[in-house]
Chain A
């Protein structure tokens, strides 16, 4: 979920397991959501997006679920690999140009 204070929430999973990263968004009028992956020393990298008229979207090894009733977004990563270790951000679009990013969740994949 979203971070509190200075420390990012951390999800630790074993290689090969499935990962689920959660995000609570703030604005019920948001109509577009994105997940980004940020590796150390790099910029955020687009993973997958979903519009508010959908509740599920699948990509390669990733699935995003949207629950508008409780304003919740999740990212599922199948068969997590060491290269998936990174900080994951959800972002919502409710103003047309200013993405509102969450504080991020750190995913650590252990062998």
Chain B
């Protein structure tokens, strides 16, 4: 099993540019999560999908952030326009849990290190 696959591993961009982060969850997992990690705030949940449907996006910081999951094997997180304070590591995670067990045994990808200059 290849695990959760994220791309790119590193992204350096200039303020104002659009950034798209990609994620391929583990096959058969029906829940997908986007997290952001910074030293100041630790790991924060941005949005999660269940069966490709966004269930809760209350963690998305601003309208500049959007996420889609067009099918069970692909999700994107887009930032437009990007700002320096968006610099962080963005993780995608997936699980087979549902209901109360939705986030049990989350499997994380290796993350995308985003630097906005």
**Which residues of chain B are near A111, meaning CB under 8 Å?**
none
Contact A98 B108 (CB under 8 A): no
Give A71-95 as 1s and 0s: 1 = Cβ < 8 Å from B's Cβ atoms.
Answer: 0000000000000000001000100
User: Which residue of A is nearest B56, CB measured?
Assistant: A97
Contact A96 B102 (CB under 8 A): yes
Contact A99 B42 (CB under 8 A): no
Known: A6-B39, A43-B91, A43-B110. A99 touches B100 (CB 8 A): no
User: Which residues of chain B in 48-66 are interfacial with respect to chain A, using CB atoms and an 8 Å cutoff?
Assistant: 48, 55-56, 59
Q: Which of A45, A98, A102, A104 contacts B56 (CB 8 A)?
A: A98
Contact B42 A97 (CB under 8 A): no
* CB of B28 within 8 Å of the partner chain: no
The answer for the CA separation of A101 and B91 in the assembled complex, in Å, is 14
Chain B interface residue bracket vs A: 20 to 34
Q: Which of A45, A89, A96 contacts B43 (CB 8 A)?
A: A89
Q: Is the interface of A mostly helix, strand, loop or mixed?
A: loop
Q: Which of A32, A42, A99 contacts B45 (CB 8 A)?
A: A99
Q: Which of A32, A46, A104 contacts B42 (CB 8 A)?
A: A104
Known: A43-B93, A43-B110, A45-B108. A101 touches B102 (CB 8 A): no
Contact B39 A97 (CB under 8 A): no
**Which residues of chain A are near B4, meaning CB under 8 Å?**
43
The answer for the CA separation of A102 and B108 in the assembled complex, in Å, is 16
Can you give 14 A-B contacts (C-beta < 8 A)? A6-B39, A6-B40, A31-B100, A36-B108, A42-B110, A43-B91, A44-B43, A44-B106, A44-B108, A89-B43, A96-B102, A97-B48, A101-B43, A104-B42
Instruction: List B residues at the A interface (Cβ < 8 Å).
Output: 4, 39-40, 42-43, 45, 48, 55-56, 59, 91, 93, 99-100, 102-111
